Amino acid sequence: MPVEPNYFQQYQHADIDELADVIGELLQNPITVEDADHKLIAYSSHGESTDEARWSTIMGRRVPEKVLTRLWKDGVFQELLTQDDPVHIPAKDEIGLGKRVAIAIRRGSDVLGYIWAQEVNRPITREDDEILRQAARVAVSRLIQRQGKRKAEEQRRKEFLWELLLGNHSSEAVIRQKADTLQMQLPTSYLICIIEAAGARLDQYLYPLLMRDKLLWVVDGSQIILLIGLSEAKKDKSDVLIRKVEQFLADSLGKLEAHVTEGRQVIAGYGRDYKSYTDIVKSYREALHALKIKKLFPQENEGIHGYHELGIYRYLLQLKQWEEEQGYQNERLEKLRQYDRDNQTTLLTTLETFLDAAGKVNKTAERLHIHINTLSYRLRRIEEIIRVDLDNMNQRAALYLELKIAKLDGEQ
């Protein structure tokens, strides 16, 4: 293995702009240096041949949004965030992006920024990768200070989110003002989403996704709490927005479940969407509620994350508590349970399966592995024993509720 030369020996103390020029000279191509938030930090001054993406970046002092979106979509950033080596990116003419190479500037697992090298004057080969690796290493010290400031800001933003989650602020105006001083732009519509994983480094694994969507988040024990913005809530198109959340969750859970093979306890829930930021407490509580229900009824709520999708489960805990306060005990179900015990039957399970199948005898018999006439007999029996009319929606719904409430005791 040949010993690579130390390209930046004599530039250890050069400032960041000088460094960009040096890299540019070594690679004979235009260089751009950005921080983790894609704000322009430095760029090489030689050479006029520049594509539209670089031009816009320099003029706007930030990488244009559409370029970022595209690169996230193509998985470029995912690569950059997860590996130490330079990433070679083919040209993407639709967004005015020429062929280039990029590398992340990182300290430990933190990404401080990126170095971009355009390929215009000459191709950048694998041999040049070491130059970029060294350049990234040298750039670290220049970015650390900036990073410190950024971290402190991030920290203050997280504290602010906690305040919002706990409902410390009562006035919308005060919230907006504080958000301004923290240079946060609050989405017009938002919701709170919680992802919980047993013993996983949640923020670590989700980092690329969090960065991609520029989410505000805090970690609380084994939970990560996310403020997700629903940019434009046009008319009846809220469905589309919710589907974006579901997409995000699918991505996140997929990624996490790959990592957390052991307990595989990865669950997520989110509250309803609100516009006023005094309602953030509500959305948070709703997300927590959804999570709680998903733990209590995992099968019943598989694939469901939104509080608005919980159906009757939304009421269950409350109703349970109410029944207890009233000293109500369900005689009908107890009667069935007793009958089952006395006669070694399974009428209660039969009833639950029947109700879960929304009264479809076919589906019910199938799930229970019994003849359809057996089912019909059992249902008739149930109607006789607990004196109920299963064709009556009121009674059906009531029984359904009662059954699910009873399950909360683990009595089943």
| Distances from the Cα of 365 to the Cα of 77, 272, 370, 371, 377, angstroms | 51, 37, 5, 6, 11
CA 120 to mean position of chain CA atoms: 38
Figure out which of the listed residues 314, 320, 337, 381 binds a second copy, where binding follows CB under 8 A: 314
Q: Which residue has the tokens 């004057």?
A: 121
372 token code pair: 């359809």
Q: Which does 314 bind (CB under 5 to 8 A by kind): DNA, a second copy, none?
A: a second copy
Q: Does 303 bind a second copy (CB under 8 A)?
A: no
Q: Which does 376 bind (CB under 5 to 8 A by kind): DNA, a second copy, none?
A: DNA
Distance CA 117, CA 179 (A): 36
Nearest to 230 by CA among 172, 279, 277, 187: 187
Figure out which of the listed residues 61, 295, 360, 387 binds DNA, where binding follows CB under 7 A: 360
CB of 387 to DNA, least distance (A): 15
Q: Does 88 bind DNA (CB under 7 A)?
A: no
Figure out which of the listed residues 311, 334, 362, 412 binds a second copy, where binding follows CB under 8 A: 311
Give the range of 100-108, 284-292, 302-310, 361-369 binding DNA by CB under 7 A. 361-369
Q: Does 342 bind a second copy (CB under 8 A)?
A: no
CA 176 to mean position of chain CA atoms: 24
CA 108 to mean position of chain CA atoms: 23
107 token code pair: 């300290």
**b (16+ CB within 10 A) / e for 247-277:** ebbeebbebbeeebeeeeebbbbbbbbbeeb
Encoded one letter per residue, x for contact with a second copy by CB under 8 A and - for no contact, window 226-245 reads ----------x--x------
Figure out which of the listed residues 137, 150, 381, 396 binds DNA, where binding follows CB under 7 A: 381
Residue 55 or 377: the one with the smaller Cβ distance to DNA is: 377
Residue 146 or 381: the one with the smaller Cβ distance to DNA is: 381
| Greatest Cα-to-Cα distance within the chain, rounded to the nearest angstrom | 93
Figure out which of the listed residues 73, 149, 360, 371 binds a second copy, where binding follows CB under 8 A: 360
Q: Does 331 bind a second copy (CB under 8 A)?
A: yes
- What is the DSSP code (8-state) at residue 168? -
Coil vs helix vs strand at 128: helix
Which residues lie closer than 8 Å to 363 by C-beta, 6 or more apart? 357
CB of 258 to a second copy, least distance (A): 29
Residues that bind DNA (CB under 7 A): 339, 343, 345-346, 360-363, 370-374, 376-378, 381
